Amino acid sequence: MRCRVGGGELGEEVARLFGAGALRALAGYVPMYCWSSFTEVYLLREELLEAVDRVLSSGRVPYSAGLYAGRLRRSRPRFIPSHLLVERVYEALGRYVRALEASEQGVRVVLYGRDILRLSTLRCFEPIEKGEVVSVVGTDGRVYALGLSEVDSCSELERLRAEDVVARVIFDLGWYLRGGTVARERKYRV
Amino acid sequence: MPGYTEALSTVWDRIRSSISSRVEEVASTYGYLSYMVARYLEILSSWEDVLELLNAFERELPRSIRVNTLRFRNPGEVVERLQVLGYALTPVPWERYSYTVVKPGRVPLGATHEFLLGGYYLYRGLASLLPPVALNPTGSDRVLDAAAAPGGKTTHMAQLMGGRGLIVAVDVDRERFRALRTNLERMGVENVVALRMDSRLVPKVFGRFFTKALLDAPCTGEGIIQLDRSRKVKTSFEDLVRAHRLQVELLRATVESVVPGGLVLYSTCSIAPEEDEFTVAEVLESSDRVEVVDIPLELDLMPGLGEYFGVGLPDGVRRCRRVYPHKHGMEGFFLCLLRVL
């Protein structure tokens, strides 16, 4: 694995997914990219930069650093943001984007690693694109999962049956219970 | 002049010769190795205290949680959400965000939505909260956590620092390191650089860089017998000496990583003097760049030992603090705050 501090790839992906206003969530941070078969992205505050520099200068790489921002990939979805980053984006924007609000029962099911169904989807927030990342938020405003949308717009939900899948979940917070000590490459089911 | 590590062979001779029929009888009754009980009598000085200690090791420890203000700005929200699940919690008087669980709820504490959201860290006792509180890092500190996994104390320090400043969290164990990474992410910690390597190499990578350091050293766990009864019989004296040697090397490296005027908090979840006072004494003896200072904790903890099986320990070691299950209602623990000169 190798790591590099700085670079615009994260900003490009965040702006592409959530709009230019979402870049406010990255203010005050410098991205760090660590890559092997995929690229993990971290957000570093200034206080961390000297320590990271000393680590890299010694020929080592950090296992993780700062705020985990997500994973860059070669194929679609090209960027899977972490739920922490998504929450910050929503805070910066003051609204949800690319989100499905799930019922309490829906959240419970999602945390067992199951997909989000039409019957559990209370609200849908554009833009939504088939095959792209969508977040699953609870009625408490927290992001509980990330999925890949099965629909191309929120209006398509009206045509779905109750048991139809709205998004295939690729990460849910239950992973912290189920997969806390497994290798990081297995984190996303994509 | 032989050092404190070498003195452990003398200690062992004296431990063996102190094993009386009463020691063997009590050890047999409670299921311990005889040499352990002989040491408890030396440490505590009275059979009454020894029996209270052994009885305390038979009791379950109450679980506790530390609400994570990095993810939930209002800690009351997490407490209320857990109360809805049936939990009853009482505040820990000396750690403002921590609670003892006095009544369990309907969902296991490690599986609630609040846990998955990073709302709290789960403890099997209270003593693990002591080292970060004693070291008291702030947002202007550069902190080394020299044995960081699985991350309870790292995330606690990050919270005390308000998510600012820097923590370099180092550990060598691959699986435990994954747990550390998971806990950092779950709890939304963003001021940590996590580095999987042998902590003894930290001075080579960083030089004298840190203003504060925590070494919660790997140990035999002779303070957490409540949590693992196999510890009554699985540690030989040779194991203790091996642990001591490693702890000395780790503590020396930790001290070497801290700037003059900086602080090092050494702790173990063990009441074994071989891993506690003798480790500190060995480092004090071999370096004139470090001294023991008082621990700023308003708790009535016991002082470090001044003598053990006839081996006198440096005066400063009395300023270290011991935590006993039968006196403090926590795991057995040892804390020592050092200032780098």
Cβ within 8 Å, pair A111-B116: yes
Token pair recorded at residue B276: 């506690």
Ramachandran quadrant class, B59 (left: phi over 0; alpha: psi -120 to 50; beta: rest): beta
Calculate mean pLDDT across residues A155-174. 96
Contacts of A111 in chain B (CB under 8 A): 113, 116
> What are the residues facing B104 on neighbouring strands?
none
Please report the pLDDT score of residue B12 as a whole number: 98
Active-site residue flag, B320: no
DSSP state letter for A121:
E
Give the whole-angstrom CA distance, residue B12 versus residue A89: 61
Name the CA radius of gyration of chain A, rounded: 17
Considering the domain architecture, whether residues B263 and B277 belong to the same structural domain is answered as yes
Considering the domain architecture, whether residues B116 and B163 belong to the same structural domain is answered as no
CA dihedral of residues B292, B294, B295, B298 (deg, nearest 10): 170
Contacts of B204 in chain A (CB under 8 A): 58
CB B189 within 8 A of CB B163: yes
Q: Best interface-test mutation with B: which of A63, A137, A173 has the largest number of B CBs within 10 A? A: A63
CB B172 within 8 A of CB B146: no
CATH number, domain of B87, equals: 3.30.70.1170
> What are the residues facing B89 on neighbouring strands?
B101
Considering the domain architecture, whether residues B70 and B112 belong to the same structural domain is answered as yes
* Residue where a domain terminates, one of B105, B123, B141: B123
Q: Best interface-test mutation with B: which of A47, A84, A139 has the largest number of B CBs within 10 A? A: A47
A137 alpha carbon, distance to own chain's centre:
12
Q: For residue A145, is pLDDT > 70?
A: yes
Please report the pLDDT score of residue A190 as a whole number: 86
pTM assigned to the model:
0.97
Q: Could you tell me the sign of the dihedral formed by the alpha carbons of B240, B243, B245, B223, in that order?
A: negative
Contacts of B209 in chain A (CB under 8 A): 51, 54
Please report the pLDDT score of residue A167 as a whole number: 98
Considering the domain architecture, whether residues B133 and B119 belong to the same structural domain is answered as no
Give the whole-angstrom CA distance, residue B284 versus residue B275: 14
CB atoms within 10 A of CB B50: 23
Considering the domain architecture, whether residues B76 and B222 belong to the same structural domain is answered as no
Residues of B with CB under 8 A from a CB of A: 110-111, 113, 115-117, 142, 164-166, 168, 175-179, 181-186, 188, 190-197, 204-206, 209
Which ranges of chain B does DSSP label H, i.e. alpha helix?
Answer: 4-17, 21-30, 34-44, 47-58, 75-84, 113-116, 130-135, 152-160, 174-186, 202-206, 237-256, 277-286, 325-328
* ipTM of this complex prediction, to 2 decimal places: 0.95
Structural domain count, chain B: 3
Please report the pLDDT score of residue A180 as a whole number: 63
Nearest to A113 by CA among A172, A164, A178, A189: A172
CB A62 within 8 A of CB A23: no
Token pair recorded at residue A41: 């992205």
Q: For residue A26, is pLDDT > 60?
A: yes
Q: What is the pLDDT of residues B292-340, one digit of tens each?
A: 999 999 899 999 999 999 999 999 999 999 999 999 999 999 999 999 9
Considering the domain architecture, whether residues B166 and B301 belong to the same structural domain is answered as yes
Q: What is the pLDDT of residues B274-295, one digit of tens each?
A: 999 999 999 999 999 999 999 9
Considering the domain architecture, whether residues B48 and B71 belong to the same structural domain is answered as no
- Residue B303, classified by CB atoms within 10 Å of its CB into exposed (0-12), middle (13-18) or buried (19+), is exposed
Q: What is the pLDDT along chain B (341 residues), one digit of tens a residue?
A: 569 999 999 999 999 999 999 999 999 999 999 999 999 999 999 999 999 999 999 999 989 999 999 999 999 999 999 999 999 999 999 999 999 999 999 999 999 999 999 999 999 989 999 999 999 999 999 999 999 999 999 999 999 999 999 999 999 998 899 999 999 999 999 999 999 999 999 999 999 999 999 999 999 999 999 999 999 999 999 999 999 999 999 999 999 999 999 999 999 999 999 999 999 999 999 999 999 999 999 899 999 999 999 999 999 999 999 999 999 999 999 999 999 99
Q: For residue A184, is pLDDT > 80?
A: no
Partner-chain residue, chosen from A45, A60, A65, that has the shortest CB–CB distance to B197? A60
Please report the pLDDT score of residue A178 as a whole number: 81
Cβ within 8 Å, pair B166-A51: yes
Q: Could you tell me the sign of the dihedral formed by the alpha carbons of A91, A97, A101, A106, in that order?
A: negative
Considering the domain architecture, whether residues B116 and B179 belong to the same structural domain is answered as no
Contacts of B110 in chain A (CB under 8 A): 177
* Residue where a domain terminates, one of B78, B104, B123: B123
Token pair recorded at residue A110: 């999602």
Nearest to B89 by CA among B64, B71, B107: B64
CB atoms within 10 A of CB A125: 17
Mean pLDDT, all residues of chain B: 96
The answer for residues whose C-beta is within 8 angstroms of residue A157's C-beta and 6 or more apart is A118, A121, A124, A151, A166
At position B2, the amino acid (one-letter code) is: P
Considering the domain architecture, whether residues B82 and B146 belong to the same structural domain is answered as no
- What residues 49-108 of chain A have any CB closer than 8 A to a CB of chain B? 51-52, 54-55, 58, 60, 62-68, 82, 84, 107
Considering the domain architecture, whether residues B262 and B310 belong to the same structural domain is answered as yes
Considering the domain architecture, whether residues B176 and B303 belong to the same structural domain is answered as yes
Boundaries of domain holding B76: 64-123
Calculate mean pLDDT across residues A68-83. 96
Considering the domain architecture, whether residues B275 and B311 belong to the same structural domain is answered as yes
* Residue where a domain terminates, one of B123, B140, B174: B123
CB B142 within 8 A of CB B120: no
The answer for residues whose C-beta is within 8 angstroms of residue B213's C-beta and 6 or more apart is B143, B144, B145, B146, B254, B255, B257, B258, B262, B263, B264, B265
Please report the pLDDT score of residue A188 as a whole number: 86
